[in-house]
Amino acid sequence: MKVFKFGGASVKDAQGVKNVATVLQKTEEEDLVVVVSAMGKMTNALEGVVTRYFKEPGSYRESQQLLLDYHLPILKELFNNASHPIFSRLQELVTELGQFLQQNKSTNHAFVYDQVVCFGELISTSIVSAYLNHVGIANTWLDVRNCIITDNKYRDAKVDWEVTQQNISNKVSKQGITVTQGFLGAEGNNNFTTTLGREGSDYTAAIFAYCLNADGVIIWKDVPGVLNADPRYFSKTTLLNQISYREAIELAFYGASVIHPKTLQPLQRKEIPLFVKSFLNPLDEGTCVGKGVTLEPMVSCFILKRNQVLISLSSLDFNFMMEDHIGNVFKWLHEFKMKVELIQNSAISFSVCVDNKYDTLEPLLNKLRSTFKVRWNENVTLYTIRHAQPKQIKALVKDKELLLKQESRGTVQLVVKE
């Protein structure tokens, strides 16, 4: 059996949902777990619902309307019969969101976030599952929260592998088609919904593949596979036919956003291949991540991360400073959930390039100022180049202000102001 994952872009509208059926028909796989993300940019929209909830707690009706406005037209296009049970299912889920927003007493932002954003996946999978059944592709809808059990670190929950393995072995059939939600889990004590981190549906697919000893995972994308650079920023790109697990982990770690970084480790442990393929040309080869050659073809790979923050610390009296305080710096970076992308240390200064994902820069800077002289640049871009050639680096930094460069075996990183 195999695991398929359809991301937001593949199910952004009715046409996308119809295309899921086409992909299943063309690939002719009969035993599948199909992991589906929220439709289009629904998770971003639901993040907006959370923000609004904390500003005006009474505003639940607009939030319900937002879900209806997006999904109802899709339902109408997919099902010409308005008495199909999926219409009341959508209404039920929308009511459930409204009830949560009205009754919730918790002020824990991350907790509320997970209880709200989950509706994106609950709705998308209900629609996809109903549509597939409607067109004769029999399948079972599974609430992933009965299978993937996590700790209670909301928004970034850690999987309890032992319980999850047991649940999946007991509850998921290796035969036939199961449709379930990416990104979601449930915390073990009270069954509250948790999420695995933004873009976490790839990881969900890997969890199922690992626990079911699947023959492969296929993530369906709006690109032909993994390219050597993000096509949104680079006009000339090359399709990578084959990537080793190790190289793919490096690419994902540095931010090649086409694969979620946590996805590869469970697959590598059981040597389950991961394919990245185009949902528009499902029979094309795409990219295979697996055992074997590092990269085929062997080309340089470019990863770009915008909106990073470069923070440079030096001691208030220009002493050699870092050893005494370095522990605190890491403690605070961790406390404020800053994702560290790059570190550079010199005699009198220490620089880190971080991703301010959770909007915690201000409090972090305040902490740092108690011990250090702090300089920082916001909105910088981090380029990571694997297997770089010197002339490419030169071309890349042309017309840009280079703030920091770091070179290690196989990898060059540049922080620039564009």
Closest approach, Cβ 276 to ligand ADP, in A, equals 8
Closest approach, Cβ 385 to ligand ASP, in A, equals 26
Applying CB under 5 A, among 3, 7, 17, 148 the residue interacting with Mg ion is 7
Residues 6+ apart with CB under 8 A from 366: none
Alpha-carbon distances of 113 from 104, 120, 146, 181, 261, rounded to whole Å? 12, 12, 19, 17, 22
Closest approach, Cβ 120 to ligand ASP, in A, equals 6
> Residue number with the shortest CB distance to ligand ADP?
7
Query: How many CB atoms sit inside 10 A of residue 362's CB?
Result: 9
Closest approach, Cβ 9 to ligand ASP, in A, equals 9
List, as one string, the DSSP characters of 364-385: HHHHHHTTEEEEEEEEEEEEEE
Q: Reduced to 3 states, what is the DSSP secondary structure of residue 83?
A: coil
Which residue from 22, 7, 223 is spatially nearest to 120, judged by alpha carbons? 7
Q: Which is nearer to ligand ASP, 48 or 363 (CB)?
A: 48
Residues 6+ apart with CB under 8 A from 48: none
Q: How many chain residues interact with Mg ion (CB under 5 A)?
A: 2
Contacting residues toward ligand ASP, per CB under 6 A: 7-8, 37-38, 43, 120, 182-183, 198-201
Q: Which is nearer to Mg ion, 182 or 364 (CB)?
A: 182
Helix or strand holding residue 71 (H, E):
helix 60-78
Closest approach, Cβ 241 to ligand ASP, in A, equals 25
Residue 70, both tokens: 């997006």
State the DSSP code for 338.
P
120 marked among binding-site residues: no
96 marked among binding-site residues: no
201-212 and 161-171 helices cross at what angle (nearest 10)? 70
Which residue from 42, 34, 32 is spatially nearest to 8, judged by alpha carbons? 42
| Partner interacting with residue 223 (select from ligand ASP, Mg ion, ligand ADP, none; CB below 5-8 Å by kind) | ligand ADP
| Partner interacting with residue 182 (select from Mg ion, ligand ADP, ligand ASP, none; CB below 5-8 Å by kind) | ligand ASP
Per-residue binder mask for Mg ion (CB under 5 A), 191-230, x = binder: --------x-------------------------------
Q: Which is nearer to Mg ion, 114 or 199 (CB)?
A: 199
Would you mind telling me the total number of residues written for the chain in this entry? 418
Q: Which is nearer to ligand ADP, 112 or 117 (CB)?
A: 117
232 marked among binding-site residues: yes
Q: Which residues are annotated as a binding site for substrate?
A: 43, 121
Binding site for Mg ion (CB under 5 A): 7, 199
Q: Which residues are annotated as a binding site for ATP?
A: 5-8, 232
